[in-house]
Structure 1
Amino acid sequence: MTPEIAAKIYAIAMIPPVVLQIALIFGAPWGHLTMGGKFPGVLPLRVRWIAALQIAVQVTMTLVVWQAAGLQLLAISNLTFPDWAIWIVLVLAVLSCIGNWATPSRMERYLWGPTTLVLLGCVIGVIVL
């Protein structure tokens, strides 16, 4: 595998979490799949901003991984991240993986545990390869 392939797999694997967060913002009844299942059903309006923040973090992480693999950041040619940003992504990927495997929400664990493990593997692949 090459860093470019790892980054592309990362970007593809990040699509479902981003789509979930968008759906949660618009009232999808999938609260059991996020935040440890604390809010089953529709997320209360007071916590939907967290889903928006998650989207921003997830997209930024994807762009950092993409850049670290040597791929062009879409049409955003002036956007660059410092080289050390990939290490922040690695730390966040590790924490996300641990959190999703340790969550009390069984559905969150089964769905996002493997997903975050793939994402973590891709980040490591970009760094190591």
Structure 2
Amino acid sequence: MFVSNGITTSEVAASVFALCTIVVILFQIALAAGAPWGEFAMGGRFPGKLPSAMRIAALVQVVVLAFITFIVLARAGIAGSEFYELSVKAIWAVVGFSLLATVLNLITPSKRERMIWAPVAILMLVTSVIVALSPASF
């Protein structure tokens, strides 16, 4: 399905997904670097700067987010055409990841985390489903 100018709904959804993950990646990098935003992450269990182990976990999340973003972009035909066939199945893992992130962000005890990240997680879930259900891009 085309939105306009030959741009598909899948490409728009994948771009929105990528924009969301870029924001989350930048947030995780800031946490790893010592930003005092612990109340906005990991259930708010670590107000202020995260402890060392959680800062490392933030960096792991950066890698995971970058990988799933690549899968979404490959499935939408925006990048990594050589990985398209893999992305057709892997996109469902991204949908599952996004569903889990949505649930966790909706039930977190941290009101601030819920207010900021639940809408982002919902948007990532919706856009990943759109990409997953879209017709082949290549």
- When normalised by structure 2's length, the TM-score is 0.86
Match for 1:9 among 16, 19, 22? 16
Q: Which runs of 5+ in 2 are unaligned?
A: 4-8
Structure with more contact order per residue of length (Cα contacts < 8 Å, sep ≥ 6): 1
Q: Does 1:89 align with 2:94?
A: yes
The alignment yields a C-alpha RMSD, in angstroms, of: 1.4
Is the 2:17–2:127 Cα contact (8 Å) retained in structure 1? yes
Equivalent residue for 2:106?
A: 101
Q: Specify the SS of the correspondent of 1:8.
A: helix
Equivalent residue for 1:21?
A: 28
Deviations 1:52-106 (A, max 9, x none): 1100111111000001111123xxx76x261311011010000000000100000
Match for 2:129 among 105, 113, 124? 124
Query: What letter corresponds to residue 115 of structure 2 in structure 1?
Result: Y
- When normalised by structure 1's length, the TM-score is 0.91
Is the 2:70–2:79 Cα contact (8 Å) retained in structure 1? no
Moved over 6 A (4+): none
Shift of 1:46: 2.4
Q: Give the Cα–Cα distance (whole angstroms) in 2 for the partners of residues 37 and 67 of structure 1.
A: 34
Q: Percent of aligned positions with the same letter in both sequences?
A: 38
Equivalent residue for 1:59?
A: 66
Q: Which runs of 5+ in 1 are unaligned?
A: none
Higher-Rg member (1/2): 2
